[in-house]
Every structure is written in structure tokens, then in C-alpha cells.
């Protein structure tokens, strides 16, 4: 049934124009009456004034009745001073309170507002229009404050849930990392393995965009993969998870390092081209034969690893061995990644890392840099692998003056013993 517009308007009018009930807690009958007259003259029917002459009476009425505002005198027979306001505000924090006091004291006024009063007005210095305007502003300020508090609480709840999600994602990502390295040959104990591995992984956020893994390709051949997804945080971690799946899918198919990266690039580009934001990942894949020392490797725009020869205490970058490489993964549908070769001897160590290690900056903006990294590693070339990794991390932290890294950091040491 259609309702006439006039009938609808009439039905809504009482609720829309219902006066706001205001409790005046004031022991002085003359002052209370004056407040009522001023409000009626200036505010019309917008407010309904009621009175309590004691704090205890006012608190009881507030507990049992619905009031939209409180006009509060601080000097009452059963309470005095700012403690009067504090008591009322603590018990009824969602009702706006205007203090109306005979005391013209700026310090008390500031303290009252600091504690949560919407306004502090001095009796005898307030006109009707000023009082009504203050009451209306107080209602709106309180409503806005309550909304902001509600939004803040909702935001806190969402942040708590997001933090829990990130923590779970970090735990899952940690599970993805090698918990125990393969041995070569397979029957060897970790101490007797011809190829031994050590790593340090420090995500800058709860979850990171760096990833690495080590695979046994046969009884004496290992595959070591490391990558660095652009950025860090959840988006980078999701791309990292995709890369992890591609690594496990493609590495058993071929030992040709260049072909592995080419296939990964094609698959990753197919996935990432559907996203709104551009994403890419650098990567390096190393295939090492523990029996012959032969290395095959390919790079997708990744920082060049270092080969540390312990017997001569020399350190050289893979880019000085063969500087050919392809573009970062995910940039182009079809990319070429040359497969390069090099040799490794007993006692040699190959150090793979992501750029978060050397792109760390001091407060003045100076970068740690690859040259400084190479110099520090040369100075420590004879250290055991675990000590070398920790020393390098400490040196970068000492340089920046910060315990935390600005970007994800991953170090992987591959040693032939």
C-alpha cells in the first residue's frame, strides 16, 4: 500500500524532533533554574532540562534513565572539584559532559577538558545562545569522538588479525626453507658430505621476498637456487611461493641451468602479466658436481656469487668468470639465459646472496656496496663458513648502525670439502 507523503512526514517528525534530555547536576536551585530558562529561550524545544541536586542522585538517575548530555557543577554537597567530573566521566564515558562552574580558573578548565569534558563554562559569563551552541557542539564532538574510537577499535582488531595472518605466513615460509640439507653421496653423514651448505635468512618484514633451496640431482650433484622478488611483504611472499612451486616442478626435468631459468621465466610471466602491478624476480641457479667440481650456472639479473679459494685466500666474483646473464624473471615472455661453466676445488666455497645484504644504507645515505662486501670477505676468507656468514652480517649492521636490515637478506654458502 502506498503511504501519502504527508502521512510519512508526520510519522517521522516526533522521532526527528524529539528533545535531547539533559541532566543538570546542580545543587543551587537558582543557578539550575537560570540554566533552564537560558536553554529554553535560545534552544526552543531542542532540549529537555532535568535536575539532580547531588552527585549521588545524578549518578543514580544516569544509571536508570536515558540522558543525552550532562551539565555538571563541580562543587556539590557530596563532591567537590575535578574529582566530581572524573567520577561522572568514568561511569558514563559515552555521555557528553559540559562543566558549568562558578570557578574561573584556567588551570582547572584545561584539566577538565584534558580529562574528557567537552567544554568548561563559567557561570555568570555565559549567555543563552552561547550555552546552547556549546551544547550542540558538544553533542557533535562527542558523536565524532565515539565514531573515531569505534573506527580505531575496528582498525586495531583488523591489525591484530592481519598480524596473526602475517605471523602464520612467516611460519609457513620458514617451513619452505631447507630444514635439513641433502648429503653427497646420499649415504654420507652431514659431517662427511662432500658438499656442505649453510645459510642465513633475515626477512625485513614478517614475510620476505627472498627464497632459496638446495636439491639433490643425483648421488653427487646438487642444485642450488636463490631468488629475490621485487619488494618485500605479502605480495613478494606470494610470488616467492609461486617460484618455489616452479622450482620443484622444473629442476627435476633438466640439469641445464639456463633452460631451467627460461622455463621459470615463461611460466612466471604468464602468471604475473594478469596482475595490475608489475612484479619481477632476480634469480641464480647453480648446478655443482661434488665428484668432479664442475659447476654450471645461469643468472637472471641476480647479484653475482663469489668463489672463495681457501688454499690461496683469494675471492673472485662469478661475473669475472663469465659475465653473461639474462633479464630478471617475469619481465618478458621469452628470454635467453646462457648456461655458464666454472670449476670448484676441494676447500672452495661459493657464496650466494641477495642484494639486501650490500644495499643497506647508513643514516647519511651511504651504501655498504659490493666493493666493501668483497673487501670484507677477502679479509675473512679463511674463516669457517658459519663464522664468515655471521661476521659479514655483523659488519653490515655495524656500518649502518641498525640491527634490522632495510630489505630481505639471504646468504647461502656452498662448500666443497
Domains and CATH numbers, the chain: 5-149 (3.40.50.2300), 166-416 (3.60.40.10)
Grid cell 534513565 in the structure block, residue: 65
Tell me, what's the pLDDT at 164? Answer: 78
Tell me, what's the pLDDT at 129? Answer: 94
Please provide residue 300's backbone torsions phi and psi, each rounded to the nearest 5 degrees: -110, 75
Distance CA 223, CA 315 (A): 22
CB 74 within 8 A of CB 120: no
Q: Find the length of the chain.
A: 417
CB 186 within 8 A of CB 220: no
Distance CA 174, CA 169 (A): 9
Tell me, what's the pLDDT at 209? Answer: 85
- Please state whether beta strands 20-25 and 47-52 pair in parallel, antiparallel, or not at all (unpaired): parallel
CB 229 within 8 A of CB 308: no
pTM over 0.85: no
Tell me, what's the pLDDT at 236? Answer: 84
pLDDT string in tens for the chain (417-residue length): 444 443 333 333 334 468 999 999 999 999 999 999 999 999 888 999 999 999 999 999 999 999 999 999 999 999 999 999 999 999 999 999 999 999 899 999 999 999 999 999 999 999 999 999 999 999 998 888 889 888 999 988 888 887 777 777 777 777 778 889 999 999 999 999 999 999 999 988 767 789 999 999 999 999 999 999 987 777 888 888 899 899 988 887 788 999 999 999 999 999 988 887 788 999 999 999 999 999 999 999 999 999 999 988 899 999 999 999 999 999 999 999 999 999 999 999 999 999 999 999 999 999 999 999 999 999 999 999 999 999 999 999 999 999 889 899 999 999 999
Show Cβ contacts of residue 417 under 8 Å, excluding neighbours closer than 6 positions: 193, 194, 195, 196, 346, 347
Tell me, what's the pLDDT at 15? Answer: 41
Amino acid at each position: 500500500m502506498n503511504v501519502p507523503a504527508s502521512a510519512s512526514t508526520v510519522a517521522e517528525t516526533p522521532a526527528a524532533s524529539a528533545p535531547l534530555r539533559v541532566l543538570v547536576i546542580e545543587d543551587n536551585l537558582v543557578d539550575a533554574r537560570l540554566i533552564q530558562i537560558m536553554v529554553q529561550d535560545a534552544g526552543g524545544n531542542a532540549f529537555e532540562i532535568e535536575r539532580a541536586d547531588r552527585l549521588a542522585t545524578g549518578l543514580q538517575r544516569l544509571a536508570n534513565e536515558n540522558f543525552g548530555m550532562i551539565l555538571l557543577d563541580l562543587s556539590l554537597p557530596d563532591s567537590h572539584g575535578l574529582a566530581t567530573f572524573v567520577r561522572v566521566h568514568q561511569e558514563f564515558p559515552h555521555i557528553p559532559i559540559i562543566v558549568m562552574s562558578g570557578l574561573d580558573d584556567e588551570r582547572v578548565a584545561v584539566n577538565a577538558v584534558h580529562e574528557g569534558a567537552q567544554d568548561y563554562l563559567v557561570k555568570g559569563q555565559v549567555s543563552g545562545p552561547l550555552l546552547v551552541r556549546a551544547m550542540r557542539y558538544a553533542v557533535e564532538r562527542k558523536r565524532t569522538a565515539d565514531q573515531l574510537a569505534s573506527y580505531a577499535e575496528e582498525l586495531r582488531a583488523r591489525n591484530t588479525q592481519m598480524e596473526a595472518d602475517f605471523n602464520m605466513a612467516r611460519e609457513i615460509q620458514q617451513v619452505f626453507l631447507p630444514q635439513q640439507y641433502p648429503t653427497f653421496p646420499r649415504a654420507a653423514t652431514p659431517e662427511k658430505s662432500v658438499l656442505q651448505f649453510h645459510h642465513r635468512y633475515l626477512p625485513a618484514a614478517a614475510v620476505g621476498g627472498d627464497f632459496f633451496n638446495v636439491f639433490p640431482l643425483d648421488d653427487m650433484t646438487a642444485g642450488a637456487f636463490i631468488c629475490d622478488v621485487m619488494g618485500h611483504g605479502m605480495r613478494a611472499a606470494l610470488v616467492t611461493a609461486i617460484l618455489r612451486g616452479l622450482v620443484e616442478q622444473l629442476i627435476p626435468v633438466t640439469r641445464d641451468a639456463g633452460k631451467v631459468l627460461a622455463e621459470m621465466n615463461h611460466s612466471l610471466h604468464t602468471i604475473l602479466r594478469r596482475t595490475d602491478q608489475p612484479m619481477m624476480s632476480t634469480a641464480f641457479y647453480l648446478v655443482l658436481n661434488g665428484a668432479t667440481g664442475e659447476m654450471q650456472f645461469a643468472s637472471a639479473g641476480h647479484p653475482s656469487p663469489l668463489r672463495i679459494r681457501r688454499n690461496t685466500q683469494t675471492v673472485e666474483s662469478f661475473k669475472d668468470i663469465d659475465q653473461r646473464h639474462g633479464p630478471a624473471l617475469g619481465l618478458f615472455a621469452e628470454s635467453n639465459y646462457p648456461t655458464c661453466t666454472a670449476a670448484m676445488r676441494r676447500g672452495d666455497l661459493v657464496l650466494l646472496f641477495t642484494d639486501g645484504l650490500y644495499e643497506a644504507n647508513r643514516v647519511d645515505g651511504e651504501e655498504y656496496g659490493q666493493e666493501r662486501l668483497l673487501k670484507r670477505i677477502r679479509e675473512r676468507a679463511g674463516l669457517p663458513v658459519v663464522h664468515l656468514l655471521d661476521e659479514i652480517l655483523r659488519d653490515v649492521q655495524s656500518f649502518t648502525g641498525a640491527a634490522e636490515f632495510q630489505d630481505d637478506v639471504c646468504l647461502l654458502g656452498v662448500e666443497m670439502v
